[in-house]
Structure 1
Amino acid sequence: MIQSMTGFGKHVIQLPEKKITVEIKSLNSRNLDMNARMPSAYREKELALRQKVAGVLKRGKIDLGLYVEITGEETSSQINNGVVKGYMNQLSEIVPGEDIKLLEMALRLPDALKTERGEVDEDEYRAIQQALDAALEEIDRFRTEEGSVLEQDFNGRINELKSLLEKVSAMDTDRLATIRERLEKAVADLQVEVDANRFEQELIYYLEKYDITEEKVRLANHLDYFLTTMAAAGSNGKKLGFISQEIGREINTIGSKANYAPMQQLVVQMKDELEKIKEQMLNVL
């Protein structure tokens, strides 16, 4: 079962004096690229929270947000009385004014508020971990559901590639016969006498260069391997990407050897299906 790298998870926990919200968003990325936003008082726990997220999500561009809203009387910021009074005295020396106006101006200046940073309470940290676990479960479920949609799309396109490959195989005999007739006619048009045995040997050698038997076998194996890998436990986005490259290599070789318009038209259709697979593959974990 494959998973998408796109997802969203959110969980809210209400404590006696705080509301804690954990949000996780993820988009596709070649590797793990995580950005964390949280109040400075919780930075000491950032590394542990990052490790927990990385252990579950593995890959993608991930935004982790920890938001804390004070709902009680507790506050980590206090007015710095001495600094505010000093600002007010300096302001009144410049332009006399009402105390309330001076206070408003003073509170906007640097260091008017002081924030006391203490250690995160263990009970509160356990609550944050619980909220993170719940958000991770939600985003993992989201990714799995998105992955199911991608899997259905991949199944349809791989089966279409198999159908096109069968058509290529069905016309291969006619293709070689047409190429042979074309070569024989070209030699006949030259109106020169040639050694029949030597011409037959050269013709066989030439036709062997256009033989696509190996490419057809390898392509069929790659398509089956893609489906097997997709159905395996865990998500194998990078591996599926490598298999897609091998599928493309065989399709390109068939196209270069075809030398036959009806087969080249099928190859174009195969390339179109594979291109759509590769576009969606960017979202696979």
Structure 2
Amino acid sequence: MIRSMTAFARAERAGSDGTLNWELRSVNHRYLEPHLRLADALRDLEGAVRDALRQQLSRGKVECTLRFSEANGSKALHIDASRAAQVVAAAESVASLINQPARINPLDVLNWPGVLASNGPDTQTLNAQALALFQEALDELTADREREGTELARLIGERLDALAAEVDALRALVPQMLALQRQRILDRFAELKLEADPQRLEQELVLLAQKSDVAEELDRLATHAAEVKRVLKAGGAAGRRLDFLMQELNREANTLGSKAFDPRSTQAAVNLKVLIEQMREQVQNIE
């Protein structure tokens, strides 16, 4: 299945320890480029998140944001009485050396490192929950990319059909246009009342017809268009292959335009370039 590189996903889960929230945003990029913004308490997840992205996606700039809001009362405060006693004893020992020392402030004791501690959520459990929730968000992002990719493939398919119609129409007109060109040259000689060597004139007309022959370009356009359809049907990470095919289609359309010798062939070349450019813009978003 063809995937787009543009998508958005969000996943949230509330628990006794608090609420986890993932937001994933994906846009087109030449390679896979993750940008992670994780809550401070969950920064250990970075490696696992990058691994999961590499396993499921191949291209795109992906912004992953994880927020964690702790539940009210999830942190129970605990005083290390032994540590507090040591701090008070040390403060009293110093106070005995001072004339009229200030009274010891209990808040100062609580602020001393190691006196006051809190039991937050279990880190290992929280990491596991956050990683499982990330997989849910990633699956949603992938599904979103697949839905948009299906639509992109449909739009490209419509333009491929229009391109094939242009190629077939021009192919049918080429003999008529060559005959008309030949007749115009003969009429011009007649108007100027010039006598030309019939054999030499025929050679020049053949050479001109060869220079104006666009059968090869039309065949290549048809071949490349068929390959684009095959790649779209095969699915997978086809963006780079499709981009290359768009370049080849554009090259053949340019050559076709340079050989144009009739307003109808000129217009056909322009129409083809417009269709190819429209497809190229859509291909830029394909993984």
For residue 240 of structure 2, what is the amino acid of its counterpart?
Answer: K
- 2:69 aligned residue: 69
Q: 2:162 aligns with which of 150, 157, 160?
A: 160
- The within-5 A match list for 1:24-173 is 24-75=24-75, 121-173=123-175
Deviation for aligned residue 1:75: 4.8
**Unaligned regions of 5+ residues in structure 1, if any?**
83-113
Deviation for aligned residue 1:253: 1.3
Q: How many residues align?
A: 251
In our comparison, the structure showing a higher alpha carbon Rg is: 2
Query: Hey, what's the Cα distance between the residues in 2 that align with 1:235 and 1:195?
Result: 61
Change (3 A) 1:264 1:194: same
Deviation for aligned residue 1:51: 2.3
- 1:270 aligned residue: 272
Aligned partner of residue 258 in structure 1, secondary structure: coil
Give the % identical residues.
Answer: 30
TM-score (norm 2): 0.80
Aligned partner of residue 22 in structure 2, secondary structure: strand
Aligned partner of residue 266 in structure 1, secondary structure: helix
- 2:246 aligned residue: 244
Change (3 A) 1:53 1:177: same
- 2:180 aligned residue: 178
For residue 47 of structure 2, what is the amino acid of its counterpart?
Answer: L
Deviation for aligned residue 1:122: 2.0
Deviation for aligned residue 1:213: 1.0
Task: Confirm or deny: 8 A CA contact 1:41 1:120 kept in the other structure.
Answer: no
Query: Hey, what's the Cα distance between the residues in 2 that align with 1:256 and 1:115?
Result: 79
Deviation for aligned residue 1:77: 11
- 2:256 aligned residue: 254
Task: Confirm or deny: 8 A CA contact 1:22 1:132 kept in the other structure.
Answer: yes
Aligned partner of residue 192 in structure 1, secondary structure: coil
Deviation for aligned residue 1:144: 0.7
Deviation for aligned residue 1:217: 0.9
Task: Confirm or deny: 8 A CA contact 2:17 2:121 kept in the other structure.
Answer: no
- 1:85 aligned residue: none
- 1:98 aligned residue: none
- 1:10 aligned residue: 10
Aligned partner of residue 10 in structure 1, secondary structure: strand
**Unaligned regions of 5+ residues in structure 2, if any?**
79-86, 88-115
Task: Confirm or deny: 8 A CA contact 2:6 2:145 kept in the other structure.
Answer: yes
Q: Deviation string for 1:247-269 (max 9, x for gaps)?
A: 11111211211210012112222
- 2:283 aligned residue: 281
Aligned partner of residue 259 in structure 2, secondary structure: helix
Query: Hey, what's the Cα distance between the residues in 1 that align with 2:161 and 2:188?
Result: 39
